[in-house]
Amino acid sequence: MSDNKTDEPLAVVGAGVMGTAIAALAVGHGHPVTLIDSSPQARDGAPDRVRLHLRTAQMMGTLPDGRPTGRLTLASTPDAAAEASSVIEAVTEDPKEKAAVLADLAAATSPGTLLVSNTSGVPIDELAGAVPRPEDLVGVHFMNPAYLIRTVEVILGPRTGDGAATAVHTLLAGLGRRGIVVGDGPGFVTSRLLHRMINDAIEVVREGRATPETVDALMRDCIGHRTGPLATADLIGLDNLADSLRVLHDRTGDTAFRPSELLLAKVRQGQLGRKSGRGFYDYEEAIR
């Protein structure tokens, strides 16, 4: 298992909301990054989005001063991760897709290469079942935006090896992140609590009891939630939120996680939140 120095090459798979933000965090700390996505459209837009994230991170003072930015390379298939010392998977929250990508990544890299999944809620041990080297797999739930929020949730599955547990802390320390370790299981801690609350907030809007603005104002100004649950839903991406709720519902049977009909209707209409320019709120331009 490597020492994960900040000039070591990393691979990030999935160039969406999280993948581009994690790539910005890593190049901003000096790592050369190979960003892999199977979608040509996602690859085309990725360099501009990473640049935008980097500018925001620099403005907010969340990157180390004076460290040269690592090189960003785009690729379309997991074999491009072969030289990476650590690989971070951030593809769509589809358990089968994630399992297939992680299996390909394990095949493309040498034993001891740290395999990280940024899943919001698929149990790490479920994914480990698809990976030939389950001891190298760890969950790291980077928060959104990954280049601003310094604390992350770390999930060590029952089959995670000691080498991977040490390597993930070294990687995170090099990226200036604090990892808090939690037990494995659907939604870990943060998604189990947050997604239930957001889904319920959407139900309040569907029932006509309050507008998104009112729900968010109450949760911000009375309860101290930083943005309000509907604004958070738009930031996450409504398609990803629906997928993550399905993962939780399928694995727990808890009906609180059944995606609200209003959420599903918005996804069907292409209203995906900030990433499409419209969700529970309107945005001047689509921001990924």
The binding site for ligand NAD (CB under 6 A) comprises 13-19, 36-39, 42, 90-93, 97, 101, 118-120, 141-142, 144, 236-237, 240, 244
Q: Write down the least CB distance from residue 19 to ligand NAD, Å.
A: 6
Structure tokens of 243?
């997928």
Q: Kindly tell me which of 1 and 35 has the beta carbon lying closer to ligand NAD.
A: 35
Pairing of strands 72-75, 178-182: unpaired
Q: Write down the least CB distance from residue 67 to ligand NAD, Å.
A: 25
Task: Answer yes or no: are the C-beta atoms of 286 and 270 closer than 8 Å.
Answer: no
Q: Kindly tell me which of 164 and 248 has the beta carbon lying closer to ligand NAD.
A: 248
Q: Kindly tell me which of 174 and 237 has the beta carbon lying closer to ligand NAD.
A: 237
3-class DSSP state of 191: helix
Nearest-angstrom CA–CA distance, 178 and 13: 22
Structure tokens of 131?
């990976």
Q: Write down the least CB distance from residue 243 to ligand NAD, Å.
A: 7
Q: Write down the least CB distance from residue 262 to ligand NAD, Å.
A: 19
Q: Write down the least CB distance from residue 221 to ligand NAD, Å.
A: 23
Structure tokens of 284?
């001047």
Q: Kindly tell me which of 64 and 183 has the beta carbon lying closer to ligand NAD.
A: 183
3-class DSSP state of 165: helix
Give the strands of the sheet with 114-117, arranged side by side: 72-75, 33-36, 10-13, 86-89, 114-117, 137-141, 151-155, 178-182
Q: Write down the least CB distance from residue 187 to ligand NAD, Å.
A: 10
Task: Answer yes or no: are the C-beta atoms of 9 and 84 closer than 8 Å.
Answer: yes
Task: Answer yes or no: are the C-beta atoms of 76 and 42 closer than 8 Å.
Answer: no
Q: Kindly tell me which of 1 and 199 has the beta carbon lying closer to ligand NAD.
A: 199
Residue closest to ligand NAD when measured from CB atoms: 16
Structure tokens of 27?
């190049």
Q: Write down the least CB distance from residue 92 to ligand NAD, Å.
A: 4
- Scan for tokens 């999944």, then name that residue: 117
Q: Kindly tell me which of 1 and 86 has the beta carbon lying closer to ligand NAD.
A: 86
Q: Kindly tell me which of 1 and 260 has the beta carbon lying closer to ligand NAD.
A: 260
Nearest to 107, CA basis, from 134, 83, 73, 131? 131
Q: Kindly tell me which of 104 and 135 has the beta carbon lying closer to ligand NAD.
A: 104
Task: Answer yes or no: are the C-beta atoms of 167 and 86 closer than 8 Å.
Answer: yes
Q: Write down the least CB distance from residue 122 to ligand NAD, Å.
A: 8
Output Rg (C-alpha) for the chain, integer angstroms: 18
